[in-house]
Amino acid sequence: MHYQFPAFEKTCQSLLCKYLTPEIFEALKEKKTSHGYTLHQAINSGVQNPDSSIGVYAGDAESYALFAPLFDPIIQEYHGFGVDDIHQSNFNPNDLHAPSSSTMEEYIVSTRIRVGRNVDNLPLGPAINQAQRHEVEMNVSRALEALEGELGGTYFPLQGMSETDRNQLIADHFLFKAGDRFLEAAGLNRDWPQGRGIFHNNAKTFLVWINEEDQLRIISMQQGGDIQAVFTRLSHAVREIEKSVGFSYSEHLGYLTSCPTNLGTAMRASVHIKLPKLGHDMKRFEAIASQHHLQIRGIHGEHSESEGGIYDISNRRRLGVSEVQCVQDMYDGVVALIAAEQSL
């Protein structure tokens, strides 16, 4: 296929615009992974959506090596992780220091920690085919429905779910939205809604999304600010799922995910937190967030706005830091944000 160097506007801020030079484009434009994934596919999301923060997606494990001249500097800038660095894992809840307190409970509305996972020896979502996607859905939902105790629950496929139920799950922050334009351009919405769904326990404190941006998003969440309890449940759940599903992992990049921001731990630990005063001093808010490696999102997920002075605060780094460190970043940052809010 013939295609040309994309014409980015001067205002484009994405890491794709920053690191895709004409030389890198020429060197990579004819390359194809063994699953048939091309540079054109890897950059399409950022080309179609110039307001992307990153703009690239991997189609398979091989993409990270084949398109390394583009992916490596993006990974280096986002995670501060170099090509010779090795990822380290530590998912032991005993190593986390995140005690809850009455002050934290006053500010934190809810806590959620998720990890992304993809099944070993299959392409990632952007390059997966329909049959492989169904294979993931079948094998993973079967493994999940065999879990017991607090983790026991039911799988609900998106296909056949009523609009009312689906919208309620989205409004309650349990389910992913449909039609995300970044995922659309990455090829991640192909054959929608087939093969997609959500597993959850009765209390909806343990949930797994199947075949969204990653093949699994394993989630632990609950009302209030008990970060330690949410992490402990997630650690246990991941260990249990790993007994029957093999995940795609690299010594260098940790757990492999379709978006390079999720590599490594693939963990986003977040709180919905009331910070109305800081919300009126975004400069100070952002300075504290940046100092603690935090990201600020709105309360309906990525690319959404804050409502009523409530923000989604989460760890930004995920690669080259352990799971414990991701959550510790979030906890320490939240303590600092609450102190700042109280001083205003």
How far is it, in rounded angstroms, from Cα 215 to Cα 235?
A: 18
Q: How far is the C-alpha of 77 from the C-alpha of 75, rounded, in Å? A: 6
Q: 54 touches which of ligand ADP, ligand CIR, none (CB within 5 to 8 A by kind)?
A: ligand CIR
Binding mask of the shown chain, residues 213 to 232, with x at each position contacting ligand ADP by CB under 6 A: ----x---x-----------
Rule CB under 6 A: say whether 38 interacts with ligand CIR: no
Q: Catalytic: 26?
A: no
Rg of the chain over Cα atoms, rounded to whole angstroms, equals 20
Residue 113 binding: pick among ligand CIR, ligand ADP, none (C-beta 5-8 Å cut-off by kind):
none
Looking at residues 174 to 203 of the shown chain, list those that interact with ligand CIR (rule: CB under 6 A): 182
**Residue 259 binds: one of ligand ADP, ligand CIR, none (C-beta under 5 to 8 A by kind):** ligand CIR
Site map (CB under 6 A) of ligand ADP, residues 157-196, x = contact: ----------------x-----------------------
What are phi and psi for residue 321, nearest 5 degrees? -125, 150
239 in active site: no
Cα dihedral 178, 119, 252, 98, rounded to 10, equals 70
Task: Give which of ligand ADP, ligand CIR, none residue 117 binds (C-beta under 5 to 8 Å, depending on kind).
Answer: none
Return the HEC string of 5-66. CCCCCCCCCCHHHHHCCHHHHHHHCCCECCCCCEHHHHHHHHHHCCCCCCCCCCCCHHHHHH
Catalytic residue check, 212? no
Does 128 engage in binding with ligand CIR (CB under 6 A)? Answer: no
What lies within 8 Å, CB to CB, of 172 at 6+ separation is 204
Counting every residue, how long is the chain? 344
Amino acid (1-letter code) at residue 207 = L
Partner from ligand ADP, ligand CIR, none binding residue 217, C-beta < 5-8 Å depending on class:
ligand ADP
- Nearest residue relative to ligand ADP (C-beta): 301
Based on the shown chain and the rule CB under 6 A, indicate whether residue 114 belongs to the binding site for ligand ADP.
yes
Of the pair 30, 105, the CB lying nearest ligand ADP is at: 105
Among 8, 302, 306, 335, binds ligand CIR (CB under 6 A): 302
Does the annotation count 268 as an active-site position?
yes
- Which member of 33, 62, 205, 259 is catalytic? 259
Contact between 52 and ligand CIR per CB under 6 A: yes
157 beta partners:
197
Neighbours of 317 (CB within 10 A): 20
Whole-angstrom Cα distance, residue 337 to residue 128?
41
**What amino acid is encoded at 242 in this protein?**
E
The one catalytic residue among 268, 316, 317, 318: 268
Please name the residues in contact with 181: beta carbons below 8 A apart, sequence gap of 6 or more: 48, 49
State the residues that interact with ligand CIR by CB under 6 A: 45, 52-55, 182, 259, 261, 302
Name the residues annotated as catalytic: 114, 213, 217, 259, 261, 268, 297, 302
State the residues that interact with ligand ADP by CB under 6 A: 110-112, 114, 173, 217, 221, 268, 270-272, 297, 299-302, 312
